[in-house]
């Protein structure tokens, strides 16, 4: 009978549609739950001078009232407002990440190192932060920099020293000042120039022969997580062509001259220095990009 298959198809269709509706509803419910954050965390804590606010939290007039959704527009006013609001202006990445068959040309790599140097007083200095920061807390830093973040061609680099997880602003200060340009123009004294010339980042690490894994050319103190620069959230030109391999130091060894912890048992500095150069071969010529 022709009716039979039609009916069952209708039934099947309504079952699928119904199922989708239920699925969407359930997942929507949970997604919704997750996204409903309280704006309380964005407000300042209560001032606690008066004892009353401590003791009697119910009915006290100083208790913060839950912020209405309409007032939650903090992204328009926060310290990173401009940064957030200019997301649309970001470019699609021009360069592609390196791959085993497409190594990075040296000049591209040098340009990347140059860009990197712009935020550091010398190679090894803590980079300054290129965007305004929340001045009174480091709590938000790791939201982007904990695992790293990419939006189009912009990267929030992953923290390279995860064991120091706390007080980010102790070492990283913003290069964008704490004030507006107008205020700074009014009050800041023109800075006398500084003639410091910092050590530059070394180029490629030496290889034993073309094609051998390069040794690590730079010092690694506070740079224990290689993925910070060489992983998928690093600058394109500095990324590893084989991100799937996680144990970097299996093949890439740090130069002993750069490890200041050597010979811990012999404190004299000169003893350390005298012993240090053992593992440093003379730097080899930079291998051609396509061996």
Is the CB of 91 or the CB of 135 nearer to other proteins?
Answer: 135
Contacts (Cβ under 8 Å, ≥6 apart) of 98: 104, 236, 237, 239, 240, 241
Q: Smallest gap, in angstroms, from Cβ of residue 286 to other proteins?
A: 14
Q: Smallest gap, in angstroms, from Cβ of residue 48 to other proteins?
A: 5
Contacts 24+ apart (CB under 8 A), 273-280: 279/255, 280/255, 280/256
Is the CB of 238 or the CB of 255 nearer to other proteins?
Answer: 255
Residue-wise burial string across 149-158, b where 16 or more C-beta atoms lie within 10 A, e elsewhere: eeeeeebbbb
Is the CB of 78 or the CB of 103 nearer to other proteins?
Answer: 78
Q: Smallest gap, in angstroms, from Cβ of residue 275 to other proteins?
A: 8
Is the CB of 33 or the CB of 264 nearer to other proteins?
Answer: 264
Tell me if 64 sits within 8 A of 40, measured CB to CB.
yes
Tell me if 256 sits within 8 A of 290, measured CB to CB.
no
Q: How far apart are the C-alpha atoms of 191 and 188, rounded to whole Å?
A: 8
Q: Smallest gap, in angstroms, from Cβ of residue 159 to other proteins?
A: 12
Is the CB of 1 or the CB of 186 nearer to other proteins?
Answer: 186
Q: Smallest gap, in angstroms, from Cβ of residue 268 to other proteins?
A: 3
* DSSP assignments along 8-30, one per residue: HHHHHHHHHHHHHHHHHHHHHHH
């Amino acid at each position: 009978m022709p009716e039979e298959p039609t009916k069952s198809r209708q039934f099947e269709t309504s079952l699928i549609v119904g199922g989708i509706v239920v699925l969407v509803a359930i997942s929507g419910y949970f997604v919704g739950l997750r996204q409903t954050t309280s704006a309380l965390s964005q407000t300042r804590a209560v001032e606690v001078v008066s004892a009353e606010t401590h003791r009697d939290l119910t009915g006290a007039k100083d208790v913060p009232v839950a912020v209405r959704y309409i007032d939650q527009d903090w992204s328009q006013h926060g310290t990173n407002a401009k940064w957030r609001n200019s997301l649309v202006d970001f470019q699609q990445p021009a360069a592609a990440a390196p791959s085993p068959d497409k190594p990075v040309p040296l000049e591209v790599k040098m340009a990347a190192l140059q860009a990197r140097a712009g935020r550091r007083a010398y190679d090894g200095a803590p980079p300054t932060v290129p965007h305004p920061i929340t001045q009174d807390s480091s709590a938000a830093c790791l939201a982007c920099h904990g695992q790293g973040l990419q939006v189009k061609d912009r990267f929030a680099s992953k923290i390279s020293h995860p064991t120091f997880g706390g007080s980010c602003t102790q070492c990283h200060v913003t290069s964008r000042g704490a004030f507006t340009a107008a205020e700074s123009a009014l009050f800041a004294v023109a800075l006398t120039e500084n003639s410091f010339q910092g050590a530059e980042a070394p180029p490629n690490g030496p290889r034993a022969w073309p094609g051998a894994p390069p040794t690590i050319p730079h010092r690694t103190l506070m740079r224990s997580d290689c993925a910070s620069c060489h992983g998928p959230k690093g600058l394109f030109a500095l990324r590893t062509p084989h991100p799937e391999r996680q144990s970097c130091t299996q093949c890439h060894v740090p130069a002993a001259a750069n490890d200041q912890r050597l010979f811990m048992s012999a404190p004299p500095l000169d003893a350390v220095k005298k012993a240090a150069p053992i593992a440093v071969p003379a730097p080899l010529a930079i291998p051609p990009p396509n061996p």
